[in-house]
Amino acid sequence: MVLSMFSGPPVYVDLVVNAAKLMEQNSDGIEIGRNKVGIIHLVNTFVNDRTYELRGEKIVIPGMAKVLSTLLNNNIKQSTGVNVLSEISSRQQLKNVSRMPPFPGAEEDDDLQVEKIISTAGAPETDDIQIIAYPDTNSLLVKGTVSQVDFIEKLVATLDIPKRHIELSLWIIDIDKTDLEQLGADWSGTIKIGSSLSASFNNSGSISTLDGTQFIATIQALAQKRRAAVVARPVVLTQENIPAIFDNNRTFYTKLVGERTAELDEVTYGNDD
């Protein structure tokens, strides 16, 4: 690690710092001829897919490598073959129509011209980009031209942004329906029309299920009387826009008997959010 110290007017200090950052960015990667291999480290997202399973159903959150591969593959599919096919169909429609004699030097056959169209249909610039996920360091290995690697680096920097952490807490309570109804609900509210007119209604001190402190105290009191029970209190830490799953279930198997057949079938019950 090389440490440099310098002093001067703030404008010149910023100029030197920006120039050093630019030189450091340009020196990243390994150049092989006209190609370049870049290593992009991800900080705020995952390079590989993440798979969750809920009640036999798989939920897949695509990683950065799959997102980029899908984007590049779509670009390749959309940019190949369309113009060539339209050109071929138009030439086949005009093939039997009488034409003027060809000009000197333009006596090529239609089939040869069609082959030239196919051969000269330029492949997209993203055709030779290779992106490989390296999960050990949560990094992407990108191989392509210098401009292609720089494009992927800028795209990843735009997508790999910090996300807020969110803690989800859930109480799963087994309570009698009558006691639940006696807990009450808060039907009070306010309405505001414009900047000068407002009104409120039902502002009484009733117990609300949205009032966490009173609600928990009531549940604990019912639990002491064995009229309620806290089944589970799961806590999950997740990120913004990342699904979190609470799954508290039990499964038992029952025998299904027919006239000449019998089989076991599973029955799952519980809570999932």
Q: How far apart are CA 131 and CA 210, in angstroms?
A: 49
207 lies in the same domain as 151: no
Top-confidence range, 19-23, 168-172, 199-203, 247-251: 168-172
Q: How far apart are CA 123 and CA 182, in angstroms?
A: 71
H/E stretch holding 271 reads strand 262-272
244 lies in the same domain as 146: no
Locus of tokens 């992009």: 40
133 lies in the same domain as 177: no
139 lies in the same domain as 43: yes
Look at residue 30 and tell me whether its pLDDT is greater than 80. Answer: no
**pLDDT confidence tier of residue 140, bands split at 50, 70 and 90:** very high
Domain boundary among 162, 181, 216: 162
68 lies in the same domain as 177: no
pLDDT at 66: 92
pLDDT above 90 coverage of the chain, percent = 6
State mean pLDDT over 33-53. Answer: 86
242 φ/ψ angles, rounded to the nearest 5 degrees: -115, 125
pLDDT at 90: 47
Look at residue 199 and tell me whether its pLDDT is greater than 60. Answer: no
pTM above 0.75, yes or no: no
pLDDT at 112: 46
Residue 228 lies in a domain: yes
Q: How far apart are CA 215 and CA 212, in angstroms?
A: 5
Top-confidence range, 131-135, 251-255, 266-270: 131-135
Residue 4 lies in a domain: no
pLDDT at 218: 81
Q: How many CB atoms lie within 10 A of CB 169?
A: 9
204 lies in the same domain as 243: yes
193 φ/ψ angles, rounded to the nearest 5 degrees: -120, 115
174 lies in the same domain as 231: yes
pLDDT at 228: 85
Residue 127 lies in a domain: yes
H/E stretch holding 86 reads helix 82-93
152 lies in the same domain as 240: no
pLDDT above 70 coverage of the chain, percent = 62
Residue numbers of the domain that contains 72 = 10-80+123-162
Number of domains in the chain: 2
Kindly provide the b/e burial profile for residues 35-55, where b requires at least 16 CB atoms within 10 angstroms of the residue's own CB. ebebebebeebbbeeeeeeee
